[in-house]
């Protein structure tokens, strides 16, 4: 039973990492002027490593405007950077969770 809990714990952290990293691929940037707009696309996106691009905006809004995944085509440019980003976020979540759990256990014992 304890092994199943560990597997579910790691699977949940992995899904959270994938969801978070994939979501950062749709985060764009704010464009303030037509000069910026001329050189803004394709926008490289992703965290912590750039793994996607937003291309071909489907709207022509008044500037300034924040272009993101709801107005542009999303293209995955590097699967390696995507999975490296997932690994970094997964390890970060794992460390933070373990530290938090350790601190909670110590406070319960005192």
- For residue 42, what are its two tokens? 């394709």
pTM more than 0.75: yes
pLDDT in tens, 55-82: 988 888 888 988 888 888 999 999 999 9
pLDDT in tens, 32-51: 988 888 888 999 999 999 99
Q: Is 53 exposed, middle or buried (0-12, 13-18, 19+ CB in 10 A)?
A: buried
């Amino acid at each position: 039973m304890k092994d199943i809990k560990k597997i579910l714990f790691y699977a949940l952290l992995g899904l959270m990492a994938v969801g978070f990293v994939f979501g950062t691929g749709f985060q764009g940037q704010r464009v303030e002027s037509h000069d910026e707009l001329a050189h803004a696309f394709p926008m490289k996106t992703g965290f912590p490593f750039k793994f996607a691009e937003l291309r071909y905006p489907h709207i022509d809004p008044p500037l300034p405007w924040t272009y993101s995944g709801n107005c542009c085509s999303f293209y995955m440019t590097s699967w390696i950077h995507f999975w490296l980003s997932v690994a970094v976020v997964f390890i970060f979540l794992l460390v933070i969770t373990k530290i938090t759990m350790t601190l909670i256990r110590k406070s319960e014992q005192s």
